[in-house]
A and B are shown apart, each in its own frame.
Chain A
Amino acid sequence: MKKIGLSGNYAVAHAVKMADVDVVAAYPITPQTTIVEKLSEFVANGELDADYINVESEHSAMSACIGASMTGARVFTATSSQGLAFMHEVLFIAAALRTPMVMANVNRALSAPLNIWNDHADAMAERDSGWIQLWVSSAQEAYDTTLMAFKMTEETRLPVMVNLDGYILSHTYEPVELIEEETVRKYIPSKPLVNRLSPKTSFSVGVVGPPEYYFEMKYQAIDAIERSRSTISKITTEFNRSFERSYDDIGTYGMDDAEYALLTMGSMTGSARVVAEEWRRKGIKAGVISIRTFRPFPVEIFRQKVSGLKGLGVMDRSSTPGGPSNPLFCDVATCLYGLKERPVLQGFVSGLGGRDISLENFRTMFKATMDAADTKSPKPCMYVGLRE
């Protein structure tokens, strides 16, 4: 295996090329653009034998992907922020029609004000679409996860969104270990997908589902994503074994004996770890948990990881204005509700619109989590890094 310097976006593009996709339909949007730019280069210079469809919008990109997937093609697209929002209605269709595809979503804030920097609002707004949502914290993980995503989408017949933080991951160069193309081809061989459109088969898709049928059809997709938990775990374990990696549905640091922990998603995980290490040197049993698989939410594994914790700080990089709390916190509270022993939860919102979450911010959050746990009285959601 060779190691080369790649940005998160290029790491994704290399994974997609190695996965030998048949169709790429995409519309450029910052900070995703360099993924599809690189892919169009691969197609143009003959390194990737795929149809590259230039569409006039993200709505059309997603629609083209569904059509291509229906024929059994291996499909990829990428987007960010407003582009993902523009796909909104089509995302639900892709999931319920059970069309396998992989999409890289390079996380970026939603307007207004117009902002091209990172937060998680774009993906959170689509969390009920029925897509599998994976989150990565390095360029290496972006590459590996994109490869796994193709396997996951084809086994579950649910679309998979790989989320990577805009700029922090998408444009930062890191040494990335690439797997040999031949090995990848063996790992995800091209295979005919079942029940697909071809001149030899005739069936109707995208049909009307009146009240007599809609509920059952929708439940099929609900059941599929529920069952995908075991498929995702199986594929991750196999990948770890084959390529000497150590991914889990939930990433952890210091969680064997931690008393206080922060819960993160995406690139924040690295900084949280640095501060946890710092606190451990002071003798405080600090830990970090990061959600890699946000949908389906790994409920049971999560409960296991937090058992024994005194306090858990939940970091949301997006908000649910007017809600009881914010997206990740709501999920966490729901997971823990009903358990006799559970950590005290302290909610945080930080880093909106690309605001840097400094180590000092992480120290504030660790401190607040400890205070909340020790006094057993958490504060309302704290907006960390916000100017008064």
Chain B
Amino acid sequence: MKCEKVPLKGWRELPEGGTITEPGSSVLFDASAWRTSKPIIDQNKCTKCGLCWIFCPEGAIKVNPDGRYEVEFMYCKGCGICDKACAVRAIRMEEEEK
């Protein structure tokens, strides 16, 4: 999964009529501005059960090669479902930009 912010194109460069010509464009979609709070995973409490990964509606939880669960903030909308799903309360929601 590539996850990088791409520079936004000007109106002349965009395909006519809002057409999307390549598949998989949602990967490029930056939803981070939608958040009002962000999940913080306490790696000491986390049991790596994968509940947050299962419940996240955006697929914003990724598993690192070392087995740790982390949030991909470009896709996280801050809905807090991971926080509610976590069985050991290893996730807390922290308000964005107080």
Query: Which among A206-214, A300-308, A373-381 touches the partner chain?
Result: A206-214
Residue ID in chain A nearest B20 by CB atoms: A204
Interface residues of B in 22-57 (CB under 8 A from A): 23, 25, 29-30
Which of A195, A203, A216 interacts with B14 by CB under 8 Å? A216
A295–B11 Cα distance when bound, in Å, is: 22
Contact of B11 with A205 in the complex, beta carbons under 8 Å: no
A220–B20 Cα distance when bound, in Å, is: 15
A207–B15 Cα distance when bound, in Å, is: 12
- The smallest beta-carbon distance between A194 and chain B, in angstroms, is 8
- The smallest beta-carbon distance between B47 and chain A, in angstroms, is 36
Interface residues of A in 167-204 (CB under 8 A from B): 195, 202-204
Contact of B19 with A204 in the complex, beta carbons under 8 Å: yes
Contact of B19 with A220 in the complex, beta carbons under 8 Å: no
Instruction: Tell me if A157 is interfacial: C-beta within 8 Å of chain B.
Output: yes
Residues of B close to A268: CB separation below 8 A: none
Residues of A close to B67: CB separation below 8 A: none
A219–B17 Cα distance when bound, in Å, is: 10
A212-B8, A216-B11 known; A195 vs B20 contact (CB < 8 Å): no
A212–B5 Cα distance when bound, in Å, is: 12
User: Interface residues of A: mostly helix, strand, loop or mixed?
Assistant: loop
Contact of A213 with B21 in the complex, beta carbons under 8 Å: no
Question: What number of A residues sit within 8 Å (CB to CB) of B?
Answer: 23
Contact of B23 with A220 in the complex, beta carbons under 8 Å: no
Contact of A96 with B19 in the complex, beta carbons under 8 Å: no
Instruction: Tell me if B65 is interfacial: C-beta within 8 Å of chain A.
Output: no
Residues of A close to B23: CB separation below 8 A: 202
A23–B1 Cα distance when bound, in Å, is: 42
- The smallest beta-carbon distance between A373 and chain B, in angstroms, is 43
A85–B40 Cα distance when bound, in Å, is: 51
Contact of A157 with B18 in the complex, beta carbons under 8 Å: no
Contact of A213 with B18 in the complex, beta carbons under 8 Å: yes
Contact of A97 with B18 in the complex, beta carbons under 8 Å: yes
Residues of A close to B20: CB separation below 8 A: 203-205, 207
- The smallest beta-carbon distance between A92 and chain B, in angstroms, is 12
Interface centre among B9, B19, B23 (most CB of A within 10 A): B19
Residue ID in chain A nearest B21 by CB atoms: A203
Residue ID in chain A nearest B13 by CB atoms: A216
Instruction: Tell me if B66 is interfacial: C-beta within 8 Å of chain A.
Output: no
Residue ID in chain A nearest B17 by CB atoms: A98
A202-B23, A203-B21 known; A195 vs B11 contact (CB < 8 Å): no
Contact of B17 with A205 in the complex, beta carbons under 8 Å: yes
A202-B23, A203-B21 known; A98 vs B14 contact (CB < 8 Å): no
Instruction: Tell me if B97 is interfacial: C-beta within 8 Å of chain A.
Output: no
Which of B9, B19, B21, B25 interacts with A216 by CB under 8 Å? B9
- The smallest beta-carbon distance between B60 and chain A, in angstroms, is 17
Contact of B19 with A203 in the complex, beta carbons under 8 Å: yes
- 16 A-B residue pairs with Cβ-Cβ distance under 8 Å, sorted by A, are A97-B18, A99-B17, A157-B16, A195-B16, A202-B23, A203-B21, A204-B19, A204-B20, A210-B29, A213-B8, A215-B11, A217-B11, A217-B18, A220-B11, A220-B16, A223-B11
Binding site for B on A (CB under 8 A): 96-99, 157, 195, 202-207, 209-210, 212-213, 215-217, 219-221, 223
